[in-house]
């Protein structure tokens, strides 16, 4: 299955994916060789880098490693294809406009039969590719449209969270449904279950969470594949597989968490 990673921080931070560490997850120590992507939220817009090559072989990964983009919200995805051919249109994270800002979505799992679900209507949000993940994203945006179209202001977080929770409960019936979604304001994390590399069994947890309060330090805080600048920070990290030996907390099966500015808020 694919791997997900996300960061929410109280101040814009540089998130540096080293060629060595990201390549390890994208073809050296696992079979996630069908593309990768990373997106950095910047106000209402995003910077998105994606490629169809395995991370271990992608020349674009060197560019991402060299460019120190600062952002308070980052989402990344390493793909192992289960639905849809290996093509840029099927590479995550997916990005769409809604309510005058860019929304991002990345999914890990396999949603069997999502095309035939009458409750998962797409409205005007049509997929570009053939993946179940993108179709799920379009269905989520359709659910959220009535909140964002009614006002120029950002809808209440509790209302957005309610829609995401209801949506997550429905797609879980179709298969593993771990996903990370952001509307450029808050980030929503849904942990379900995923295939374990040790025995191949699909079971919880599907996402792990790490919350850190980082005091001012002489230099940057570093973990493999990630570097956070040295200013005082609150940071929430989410990953399919814990990135360090620290105390990552597994999300319960079906748990949805909302975070903003480096804090879990719902």
| pLDDT for res 221 | 54
User: Residue ranges of the domains in the chain?
Assistant: 3-264
Q: By three-state DSSP, how is residue 84 classified?
A: coil
pTM for the structure as a whole: 0.91
Burial class (CB in 10 A: 0-12, 13-18, 19+), 252: middle
Give per-residue pLDDT as tens, 177-229: 999 999 999 999 999 999 877 788 999 999 999 998 765 444 555 555 556 65
Q: Which residues contact 153 (CB under 8 A, 6 or more apart)?
A: none
Nearest alpha carbon to residue 114 among 164, 192, 177, 171: 171
Give per-residue pLDDT as tens, 105-114: 999 999 999 9
Q: Is the pLDDT of residue 124 over 60?
A: yes
Question: Are the C-beta atoms of 53 and 70 separated by less than 8 Å?
Answer: no
Give, in degrees to the nearest 5, the angle at Cα 85 between 20 and 49: 40
Burial class (CB in 10 A: 0-12, 13-18, 19+), 13: buried
Class of domain 3-264: alpha beta
Give per-residue pLDDT as tens, 1-58: 688 999 999 999 877 653 344 445 544 445 557 888 999 999 999 999 999 988 777 7
Q: For residue 198, give both structure tokens.
A: 């040790």
Give per-residue pLDDT as tens, 73-94: 999 998 877 887 999 999 999 9
Task: List active site positions.
Answer: 2
Q: For residue 260, give both structure tokens.
A: 């903003």
């Amino acid at each position: 299955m694919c791997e997900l990673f996300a960061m929410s921080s109280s101040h814009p931070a540089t998130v540096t994916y080293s060629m060595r560490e990201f390549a390890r997850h994208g073809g050296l120590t696992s079979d996630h060789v069908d593309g990768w992507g990373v997106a950095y939220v910047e106000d209402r817009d995003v910077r998105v880098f994606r490629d169809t090559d395995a991370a271990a072989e992608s020349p674009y990964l060197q560019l991402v490693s060299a460019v120190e983009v600062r952002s308070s919200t980052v989402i990344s995805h390493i793909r192992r294809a289960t639905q849809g051919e290996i093509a840029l249109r099927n590479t995550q994270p997916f990005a769409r406009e809604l309510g005058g800002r860019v929304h991002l979505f990345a999914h890990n799992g396999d949603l069997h039969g999502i095309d035939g679900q009458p409750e998962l209507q797409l409205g005007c949000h049509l997929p570009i590719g053939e993946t179940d993940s993108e179709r799920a994203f379009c269905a989520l945006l359709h659910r959220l449209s009535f909140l964002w179209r009614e006002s120029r202001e950002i809808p209440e977080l509790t209302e957005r969270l309610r829609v995401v929770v209801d949506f997550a409960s429905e797609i879980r019936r179709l298969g593993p449904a771990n996903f990370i979604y952001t509307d450029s304001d808050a980030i929503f994390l849904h942990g379900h279950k995923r295939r374990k590399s040790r025995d191949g069994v699909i079971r919880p947890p599907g996402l792990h969470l790490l919350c850190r309060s980082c005091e001012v330090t002489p230099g940057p805080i570093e973990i493999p594949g990630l570097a956070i600048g040295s200013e005082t920070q609150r940071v929430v990290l989410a990953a399919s597989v814990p990135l360090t030996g620290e105390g990552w907390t597994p999300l319960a099966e079906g748990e949805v968490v909302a975070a903003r500015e480096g804090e879990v808020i719902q």
